[in-house]
Amino acid sequence: MTDDPHALIARLEDDERRLTFDRFDNTDALALGTLLVDLATTRDLPVTIDIRRGTQQLFHAALPGTTADQDAWIHRKVRVVERYGASSYLVGRRLAANDQHLDAEMGVEARDYAAHGGAFPVRVPHVGIVGVITVSGLPQADDHALVVEAVQTFLDRRLR
């Protein structure tokens, strides 16, 4: 991976353009959540996984080694996706590249928003963002990468 923040931002933006869903329902959330649990369990990762469509939580799993703190992080990361229309990691990297932070100067409270990796938008073309997939418990780049890997695998399987 490169240390160039602009190259990272471009890659994250490309991922979000590519990783879109033709539809997203409760069955998809269950399948994607189960895939994430399988990936995390196989790797012995202490993560909490959350999948929402709109305001409804469709899937939630807290694996061994997690705490209630991950739920609070999930809530804050999801709010970033909902407000800014991009993954929490992409929003955070864009801010960092401009030496900015999510804070009162930007009209948000840090206790309510976290521009840290792990929350990824469920985007349906011609509809927009219909949900959010979130992982919390690892370093932010790893949280984000796990979600991207699972979404890519899920979409590849759907195409078969």
Nearest to 158 by CA among 15, 53, 27: 27
- Tell me the residue range of the domain where 100 lies: 5-159
pLDDT at 1: 46
Flag residues of the chain having pLDDT under 50: 1
Q: How many domains does the chain have?
A: 1
- Per-residue pLDDT of 41-88, as tens digits, reads 999 999 999 999 999 999 999 999 999 999 999 999 999 999 999 999
Residue 10 contacts by C-beta under 8 Å, 6 or more apart in sequence?
none
**Of 2, 9, 7, 4, which Cα lies nearest the Cα of 87?**
9
47, 122, 32: which is closest to 86 by C-alpha?
A: 122
Q: What is the pLDDT of residue 2?
A: 52
Give pLDDT, residue 17: 96
Enumerate the H helices of the chain as residue ranges: 5-18, 26-42, 68-84, 88-97, 140-159
Cross-strand partners of 119: 134
The verdict on pTM exceeding 0.85 is: yes
**Block residue for tokens 């979404």:** 151
- Measured from the Cβ of residue 113, the count of other Cβ atoms closer than 10 Å reads 23
Q: What pLDDT shows up at residue 105?
A: 84
In angstroms, the Cα distances linking 103 to 20, 73, 90, 112 are: 30, 16, 17, 10
CATH code at position 102 = 3.30.450.150
